[in-house]
């Protein structure tokens, strides 16, 4: 059997591990993405405790980084689709880290009333 004939099979097996793949069309909230025509609720992402300025900053930031990116979805976890692979650090973890960082920088997002 020709080795080149195995490439589509290997790619098919890799992609079948995931529930879905597609492009992020919109960031609905820190814990909800529109991927293709499907809304995906992200597991383990909690933006509660952010004030309105922190939340707005977070949304602007993640929209600019995620919009139009190709991704794989497994359960409630989303991963960047890389050429022939995927990033094992999930978008969920990335967003939750951003949230934690913003909470630690609360004073930077106050108008002197914190």
Residue 58 inside a domain? The answer is yes
Residue 55 inside a domain? The answer is yes
Closest alpha carbon to 26 in 15, 17, 13, 37: 37
pLDDT digits (tens, 9 = 90+) for 76-112: 999 999 877 777 899 999 999 999 999 998 777 676 5
Residue 5 inside a domain? The answer is no
Confidence of residue 6 (pLDDT cuts 50, 70, 90): very low
The reported pLDDT for the residue numbered 13 is 46
pTM of the model: 0.80
- pLDDT, the chain, mean: 86
- Does residue 11 register a pLDDT over 60? no
Residue 88 inside a domain? The answer is yes
Distance, first Cα to last Cα, the chain: 68
Total domain count for the chain?
A: 1
Residue 1 inside a domain? The answer is no
Residue 80 inside a domain? The answer is yes
Domain limits for position 91: 18-109
CA angle 78, 84, 86 (to 5 degrees): 25
């Amino acid at each position: 059997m020709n080795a080149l004939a195995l490439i589509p099979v290997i790619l098919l097996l890799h992609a079948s591990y995931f529930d879905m793949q597609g492009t992020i069309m919109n960031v609905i909230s820190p814990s909800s993405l529109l991927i293709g025509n499907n809304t995906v609720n992200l597991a383990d992402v909690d933006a509660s405790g952010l004030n309105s300025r922190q939340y707005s900053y977070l949304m602007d930031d993640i929209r600019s980084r995620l919009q139009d990116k190709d991704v794989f979805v497994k359960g409630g976890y989303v991963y960047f689709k890389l050429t022939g692979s995927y990033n094992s650090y999930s978008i969920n973890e990335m967003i939750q880290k951003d949230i934690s960082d913003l909470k630690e920088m609360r004073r930077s997002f106050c108008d002197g009333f914190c």
